[in-house]
Structure formats: structure tokens, C-alpha cells
Amino acid sequence: MALQNIDGERALAWGAIEAGVSVVTGYPGSPGTNTFTALEEMGKDYGHNTEWCVNERVALDQAAGASQAGRRALVCLKSVGMNVALDTVMVLNMTGVHAGLVMVMGDDPGAWGSQNEQDTRLISPLTELPMVEVSDPIEGRATMKWAFEFSEKHQTIVIIRLTRSYSVSTAEMEGLNPPATRTSLSPAREPYRFISALITVHDSHTRLHGKIKAIGEEFDNSPLNEVWGSGKTGVIATGMVYTKFKE
């Protein structure tokens, strides 16, 4: 298969198709928009549904419904859009998801296309959800596929954080290879599972803390982690900061 030069956001879109995504929702905002538009462009060929929504919370609500119905779903938004979606996030973190649900969330250091320079990494401990960063398009494509599997295993939203530097980066990679069959689960029909109310909140939050412990232990041994070089002194870096540091 011939190599193609692919940018970071399209690489994420390819990873989503290869993971068997069924529903893609979002609200315009850069970085993050180009992942949605790439998936919108390829929807007719690969059979997934894409929809721009009236705001980011509605986008997440629709994706959560798809997940509960057993279909893998992706939400594309940016940092200030994550603020809009928080009301739903702070319930979904406790109820959990069913089929894989991944959020592509773009931060914008330098405010190239944003109202602020918000650092949304602090959202991860606030919401008690796993967040990963990607350092190049090849890793982004692989991470997207991993994220859907991880989401289903732990019944949690997985957030993939990117920045403009990642969005405009490029890499040569083999062409798109969609799965022969789309991953799907039977709809989740457990009574009260997705209802967060007085009688369920305490148990749901306790269960979430158990998830966090298991997720943390798995992250410690994740194949996404890499040790480069040797010696007694090290520097810990993530995402495009790691790539720039190597350069």
C-alpha cells in the first residue's frame, strides 16, 4: 500500500474509521474542526453519520445516546467548547458509557483561532476522566483506535487532547484500512444505569473512583509511554512538547 502524507487531524479521522466509529458530532472550532470535516467528507464512503450540533453540550448528548445504543461515537470540540459541554460531562463521568465514546479536544496555545489560551489539561482531574496527548500523526492514528477500545473496556469517556502544532504536523503513513465489520454492542438496557439522581450518585461516584484506580494502573504500563535515550537524568514531556523537545 502506497504511503501518503497525512496531517494530524486527518490521521485522527482515519483512526476513528478504522476503529469502527458510527456517529460523529461536533461544533466548529479550531483545532478539532478538521477531524470532523475529514470524517464528514468520508462519511458517504465508509457509512458513519456526521452532524454539526447547535452547541458542544448537544454534541456530547447525541454521542452519549449513540454509545448507550451500542454504537461507537466521537465528539469534536475545542477548549472553550469543553466548558460548554461540562454539564453533561460531569454526569457521564459517573454513569459511564457503553460503546466507546471518545472526545477530540483542541487547545490553542498562542490563540491562533481562539478567545483565550485555556489549558484544558486541568479538566482531566476535575472530571475524573482519562486524557491522553498525541505527539505526531502516526501516534494519533494509533491512539484513536486504542481510545475506543479503552473506552469500552473501562466504560468511560476518553479525551484526546491536541494543539494546533499537532493539527498542522504531517507524516507519511499507509492508506486507510477500515474494518470489515463495524464494531457494535447490544443497546444498554439496565434500569437506572444512565440516570444520575439522589439515590444513585453516591454509588456511581464510588464506582468511578474504582475505575480511576484501574485506569491509573493501566496507564503506568501503557504502550503509549516511551522512554527515549539513556542516562541518570530525564525529562518528562507529553504530546507535541515531546516532539519539539526531540527536535
Average pLDDT (11-36) is 96
Nearest 5°: the CA angle 190, 182, 35 is 100
The yes-or-no verdict on residue 2 having pLDDT over 90 is no
Extract the C-alpha cell encoding 22: 458510527
Q: How much is the pTM?
A: 0.94
Residue 149, pLDDT > 70, answer: yes
pLDDT tier, 112 (very low <50, low <70, confident <90, very high otherwise): confident
CA separation for the pair 44, 106 (Å, rounded): 26
For Cα atoms 13, 154, 89, give the angle at the middle one, nearest 5 degrees: 70
**C-alpha grid cell, residue 107:** 487547545
Whether omega before 130 lies within 30 degrees of 0, making that bond cis, reads no
Paired sense of beta strands 3-7 and 170-174, if any:
antiparallel
Integer Cα distance of 34 and 21 in angstroms: 16
Mean per-residue pLDDT over the chain, rounded: 93
Range in 6-15, 36-45, 134-143, 184-193 the model is least confident about: 184-193
Per the DSSP assignment, residues forming a β-bridge with 171 are 6
Residue 159 has pLDDT above 90, yes or no: yes
User: Residue 56 corresponds to which amino acid?
Assistant: E
Q: Percentage of the chain surpassing pLDDT 70?
A: 100
Alpha-carbon gap, residue 121 to 85, rounded angstroms: 15
pLDDT at 1: 63
Q: For residue 35, report the phi and psi dihedrals to the nearest 5 degrees.
A: -65, -45
Which pLDDT band, with edges at 50, 70 and 90, does 20 fall under? Answer: very high
Between 170 and 192, whose confidence is greater? 170
Tens of pLDDT, residue by residue over 34-47, are: 999 999 999 999 99
Mean pLDDT along residues 116-133: 95
